[in-house]
């Protein structure tokens, strides 16, 4: 993971015209402008099976997602707001990141995450707050700037361009911020998690 900064975007919905996906594209554009190499994972295209903790042979889509996340310095997550929280499809994609428990270091250790929530109303922040819990559970770091998209149906045109230039600016700023912090952390991990220390942080089976 030396040299360039990899930023991976994950988001969108199963809808053909997804506003959370349009928002994610703009945030990744900001990351690209800040010098990152970006990759986008669209939840609709991924078409992931429901997470199964006993699955020993997950499909290619799962492996590609997990490998990309493991190799990323930073992530941008963009979920729709469904019934006051993140969508099931988006959460399912996050559930598959459980496969990163076996990586070294595990989960999202020393990775920076930027958060976007797209809502029909004005409560996109609720999806963002839910994602914060997940980032914490996976040992990642969120940047303080977040972008809740309100009235999503009016926020983007059919080409995915933001109707309000201020929204585009915020989304791109988020991408830039994630890239900036990913660069800082990649210069010297904040947690100093070594292989040995990471192992002590994992649940240990009881001694026989």
Ligand X SMILES: Cc1cc2nc3c(=O)[nH]c(=O)nc-3n(C[C@H](O)[C@H](O)[C@H](O)COP(=O)(O)O)c2cc1C
Q: Binding residues for ligand X, per CB under 6 A?
A: 12-13, 15, 18-21, 80-84, 118-121, 123, 152
Q: CA-CA distance, 32 to 12, in Å (whole number)? A: 19
Nearest residue to ligand X, scored by beta-carbon proximity: 80
Q: CA-CA distance, 153 to 17, in Å (whole number)? A: 10
Contact yes or no for 182/143 (Cβ under 8 A): no
Cβ nearer to ligand X, comparing 23 with 100: 23
Minimum Å gap between C-beta 118 and ligand X is: 4
What kind and span of H or E run contains 196?
A: helix 195-201
End-to-end CA distance of the chain: give it in Å, rounded: 38
Cβ nearer to ligand X, comparing 104 with 122: 122
Tokens of 137: 């559970």
Cβ nearer to ligand X, comparing 78 with 142: 78
Cβ nearer to ligand X, comparing 17 with 71: 17
Minimum Å gap between C-beta 17 and ligand X is: 7
Minimum Å gap between C-beta 125 and ligand X is: 10
Minimum Å gap between C-beta 183 and ligand X is: 29
Contacts of 147 (CB under 8 A, 6+ apart): 23, 27, 115, 116, 117, 167, 170, 171, 174
């Amino acid at each position: 993971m030396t040299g360039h900064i990899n930023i991976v975007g994950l988001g969108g919905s199963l809808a053909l015209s997804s506003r959370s996906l349009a928002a994610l594209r703009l945030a990744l554009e900001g990351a690209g402008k800040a010098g990152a190499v970006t990759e986008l994972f669209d939840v609709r295209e991924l078409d992931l099976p429901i997470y199964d903790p006993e699955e020993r042979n997950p499909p290619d889509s799962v492996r590609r997602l997990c490998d990309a996340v493991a190799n990323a310095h930073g992530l941008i997550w963009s979920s729709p707001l469904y019934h006051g929280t993140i969508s099931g499809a988006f959460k399912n994609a996050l559930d598959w990141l459980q496969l990163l428990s076996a990586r070294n270091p595990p989960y999202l250790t020393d990775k920076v995450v930027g958060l976007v929530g797209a809502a029909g109303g004005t409560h996109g922040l609720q999806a963002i707050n839910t994602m914060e819990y997940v980032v914490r559970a996976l040992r990642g770091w969120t940047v303080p700037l977040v972008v809740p998209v309100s009235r999503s149906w009016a926020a983007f045109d059919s080409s995915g361009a933001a109707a309000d230039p201020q929204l585009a600016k915020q989304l791109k700023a988020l991408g830039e911020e994630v890239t900036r912090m990913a660069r800082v952390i990649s210069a010297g991990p904040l947690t100093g998690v070594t292989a040995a220390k990471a192992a002590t942080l994992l649940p240990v089976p009881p001694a026989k």
